[in-house]
Amino acid sequence: MQKQFFISKIFPDCIDKALEDIGFFKGYISKAKDKYNFLLVKIHYLNCAQANTIKQLALSLGADAAVHKGVISSEVEKTHLIIGATNAQLAKLVDKLKLQPFGLKKLSQELYDYLNSSIKPLKVRKTEFDWAKKTYIMGILNATPDSFSDGGKFDNIDTALDQVNKMLEYNVDIIDIGGESTRPYSKEVLLDEELQRVIPIIKEIRKINKDIPISIDTRHSIVAKEAILNGADIINDVSGFDWDEKMLDVALEQQAPVVIMHSLSSPETMQVSPEYPQNVVNCICGYLHEKTQKLINAGVKKENIIIDPGVGFGKTLEHNIEIVKRTQEFVSLGFPLLIGISRKSIISSIIDLPIIDREDANIALNSYAASNGANIIRVHDVEKHYKAFAVLDRIIKK
């Protein structure tokens, strides 16, 4: 029977194999695939002259570009621009921009750097975090009496170490220890109390395991410093270094990797009618870009910075859904991306489940985020995620 034609879609990640399958010349695949790999690139805050120039150059290359409707008549001062092009077309655009006025030569270099950049691995103790190889699991250890999911379960040495051993059994990559609940409407904890909750646990973990990376989940520079001096490695600050101005000094002094998270305000007020002046993803991307550049300019190594869009921290359900759907846009900022969804209300707002029964839904959301480029998944149940991601990473990672 003669076969009939049919149509299917090929995705960029599979273009090498797809070209080989049709009998394309193998020796030319590595060079040719850029002609078939289509990208959408957004350039922020251009003036009208810049935007018009880029749009016309893109059109001349067979690509396309979208700008604000008021650009052609200069009715707006600034515009964002979205280019749709193949890798090969973008490379030609970079070359053409070098010859243009309006500061576009500088943009040409920035676009070249962006298209050719990769995220460097991060070495913490004996672990090398190679972001292309696997999705890393951060296990949550709340040494608090009032955290929304597990408050009071691990606030003494014995129960905390039992939980740590369970995490280690399933190859947890980072243990994240916190002594202050940052659930919505929670109040700040006194420094002495926070220190008493986390430092003894960190010391005990280091007695049984010298190698596991530990992050300290805190807004307070004194807690961060004491934690690092006693065996922690990474500073995970939900305020994005906004709460305590001395946190940056500690990060620089200790040369510690940092997690910069976006939060609309403090936990006490962040869920009081959260609003954003523009799309939530644009706002968060702008915040994270500004914050990471500030840290780099202050002396923090780029490879020591991890970003987190802060699901649930000053966001409505629709905000949180938008964040997860557009995970790739946070990845495109050029830093390892941490996603913390574990057992949060984004799940119960979609399907009415008690906190303890949210893991299946949690794995679904985390799998989507990882499939779209998230590098670290922060979770309560390490065992279930270890099993899920052992399979998922075989599909999505190189």
pLDDT in the model for residue 143: 87
pLDDT in the model for residue 155: 67
* CA–CA distance, 376 with 380 (Å, rounded to integer): 13
Taken in order of first residue, the domains within the chain and their CATH numbers are 37-116 (3.30.1370), 122-396 (3.20.20.20)
pLDDT in the model for residue 181: 82
Q: pTM for this structure? A: 0.90
- Residues of the chain with confidence (pLDDT) below 50: none
* Cβ-contact 262, 340 below 8 angstroms: no
pLDDT in the model for residue 345: 86
Written as six digits, the tokens of 275 are 């609003």
Measured on CA atoms in the order 386, 391, 395, 398, is the torsion positive or negative?
Answer: positive
pLDDT for 20-65, tens place per residue? 998 998 988 988 888 988 999 999 999 999 999 999 999 999 999 9
* CA–CA distance, 187 with 51 (Å, rounded to integer): 46
Q: How many CB atoms lie within 10 A of CB 118?
A: 8
Annotated catalytic residue within 219, 344, 394, 398:
344
pLDDT in the model for residue 273: 77
* Cβ-contact 302, 296 below 8 angstroms: yes
Catalytic residue at 42? Answer: no
Inter-helix orientation angle 48-60/104-116, to 10°: 60
User: Is beta strand 79-86 parallel, antiparallel or unpaired with respect to 64-66?
Assistant: antiparallel
Annotated catalytic residue within 302, 378, 397, 398:
378
Written as six digits, the tokens of 74 are 């200069």
* Cβ-contact 136, 129 below 8 angstroms: yes
Catalytic residue at 378? Answer: yes
Written as six digits, the tokens of 262 are 């976006």
